[in-house]
Structure 1
Amino acid sequence: MAVDLPRSFTIRESTHRILNPFTPEKLATLGAALRMPAGASILDLCSGKGELLCTWAAAHGVTGTGVDISTVFVSAARERAAELGVADRVTFVHGDASTYASPELVDVAACLGGTHIGGGAAGTVALLERQLRPGGVLLIGDCFWRSEPPSQEAIEGCHAATRDDFNTLPGLVERFGGLGFDVVEMVLADEDSWDRYAAAQWMNIRRWLDANPDDELAPELRAELEHDPLRHTRFRRHLLGWGVFALMRR
């Protein structure tokens, strides 16, 4: 059987173009900050709906390949590439990003919000570096604690099991240094970024529930909609940070 994401993911993020707490403006800021030459090659693992590759190909003339486990997201990425007129410069592959091997080394290797594929940030850095040309740039998108979680309830409200599941921002930067990398750029989400990511999910879920009240997933998503806005406003919005870090081997 082909791999794919559970259906709840595609319902929750049905109207999203960016599948993490980044706004289009922040994604554009990151693309400009990297100062990529036209024709630079990018590998984007866990590429979602392809917004990074498609918009950067349109704005900066880069080329690239995106890999994602969701057939729905890969289809959306191909549609986005056609919409922006960059289908000749970017390719999207349905598959397991954790085992994908690029046929050629790339200038930029990225994984924004999918560090589970490497068992965490360190493993994902190692996975990406195997695909990277000497002197190339790694992009890692990951969570960190903006402030100390006050309780186990707060930790679980931020989708973590223990305090140690996430680092602090200085701790994460220090971790990258310990792996032998310079942090050469970063763009961080803010509370509004989190709102645009999380709150849009609530509307997607509610619209879907109204249209599909008898679906087998309805009880699960109904419960999520009842509880997630409070978890977001009580905990995640101010406790949990997220950002993309550009790394170069020392």
Structure 2
Amino acid sequence: MSQAHGEPPRLTRLDFHGPLSADRAARMVERLARTAPRTVADIGCGWGELMLRLLAAVPEATGLGIDLREDDLARGRALAERRGLGARAVFSRGPAAATALEPADVVLCLGASHALSDAAPPQHTAGALRALRRLVRPGGRVLFGEGFWERTPTAGELAAMWPGATAEDHLDLAGLVDAAAAAGFRPEWIERAGRDEWDAFESGYLAGVEEWLAADPARPGAAEARERADRHRSSWLRGYRDVLGMAYLTLVPAG
């Protein structure tokens, strides 16, 4: 679709926009489905793959996914229709922080804390958790996916990461769980993405682009796409691999 406009394919080799395996996703869905949710909200949903899998597991539930990228939302709508979930899954474009949302039984926020807080890192994590506490119904669940430092990055690793990366950009895992507790949650389940999940995600993130580049290295747009892909791969392999983790916290609102 995008190739017709001289652009490489975008994220076509990924099921989830993050380091999340199908096995872990299935366990998450099973855990959340046991709470018998009637409403699901997905903040920064992308194409809403985990929300759709949860809706498939809970036939009585409806879901609302919110994101800013219309191409991802269109992909989510198409997936919902293909799976017979079109009547129960709504994908809405807009900023989550500025959208009037009703509290839901399950709230998903995977790698999208920035959608709920404009504070500087890592304060935005606490701000997002406070917002999520307001968005979940009593007895419900929040599934919060957030980056954390596996260890303190070196100066060389920080220099290879994203522009302006600092050691203050993330909490460690203990600090992240403490922030969730301070926002009014109890952690039902604490898990983190493994190296295999990260490697599969990072490889899948670039795989479609790499195939596109290999097929015709001189095609229009190839030079820019090659520079972006090479920069991203270098940032991963020389910067945050085995340094940046992804935690998945299943949180229960307390009190």
TM-score of the aligned structures, taking structure 1 as reference length: 0.85
Across the two proteins, how many residue pairs are aligned to each other? 239
Structure-2 separation of matches of 1:77 and 1:192 = 26
| Residue 156 to residue 24, structure 1, CA distance change in 2 (3 Å) | farther
Alpha-carbon contact 2:8-2:209 (below 8 Å) kept: no
User: Structure 1 residue 10: deviation in Å?
Assistant: 8.7
Look up the match of 1:4: none
Report the AA paired with residue 81 of structure 1: A
Contact kept? 1:37, 1:60, Cα under 8 Å: no
* Mapping of residues 15-30 of structure 1, within 5 Å: 15-30=13-28
Q: Secondary structure at the match of 1:164?
A: coil
Greater shift in the superposed pair: 31-40 or 9-18: 9-18
Structure-1 separation of matches of 2:131 and 2:243: 29
1:101 paired to 2:100: yes
Aligned mates of 2:64, 2:174 — CA distance in 1: 31
The reply on whether 1:128 has 2:132 as its aligned counterpart is yes
Spell out, residue by residue over 1:179-216, the C-alpha distance to the aligned partner (whole angstroms, 9 max, x if none). 2321111332111111111111222222344468323x
Which residue is 2:219 aligned to?
A: 213
1:46-92 alpha-carbon deviations (Å, 9 max, x no partner): 11111011111112333211111111111110111122222222211
Aligned-pair RMSD on alpha carbons? 2.4
Instruction: Work out whether residues 142 and 244 of structure 1, in 8 Å CA contact, stay in contact via their aligned partners in 2.
Output: yes
Distance 1:156 1:56 in 2: 39
- For the residue of structure 2 that corresponds to 1:34, the secondary structure is helix
Residues 1:87 and 2:92 are matched in the alignment: no
Higher mean displacement: 159-168 or 128-137: 128-137
Unaligned runs of at least 5 residues, structure 1: 1-6
> Structure 1 residues 165, 241: closer, same or farther in 2, change over 3 A?
same
Secondary structure of the structure 1 residue equivalent to 2:188:
strand
For residues 159-196 of structure 1, give each alpha carbon's deviation from its aligned partner in whole angstroms, at most 9, with x where no partner exists. 36110101111111122222232111133211111111
Whole-angstrom distance in 2 between the partners of 1:12 and 1:191: 23
Q: Distance in 2 between matches of 1:240 and 1:79?
A: 32
Partners of 1:74 and 1:228 lie apart in 2 by 24
> 1:65 is paired with a residue of what secondary structure?
strand
- Aligned-residue offset at 1:39: 4.9
Q: What runs of 5+ residues in structure 2 fail to find an aligned partner?
A: 119-123
Q: TM-score w.r.t. structure 2 length?
A: 0.84
* Structure 1 residue identity aligned to 2:220: D
| CA distance in structure 1 between the aligned counterparts of 2:65 and 2:105, rounded to whole angstroms | 14
Measured in 1, the distance between the counterparts of 2:159 and 2:183 equals: 28
Deviations along 1:103-131, one digit per CA (max 9) or x if unpaired, are x3211122111111113221212222332
Tell me, yes or no, if structure 1 residue 168 matches structure 2 residue 172. Answer: yes
Partner Cα distance (1:91, 1:75) in 2: 11
SS, match of residue 108 in structure 2: strand
Alignment partner of 1:188 is 2:200: no
Amino acid at match of 2:93: H
Q: Tell me the distance in 2 between the aligned counterparts of 1:157 and 1:34.
A: 37
- Tell me whether 1:49 sits opposite 2:52 in the alignment: no
Give the % identical residues. Answer: 28
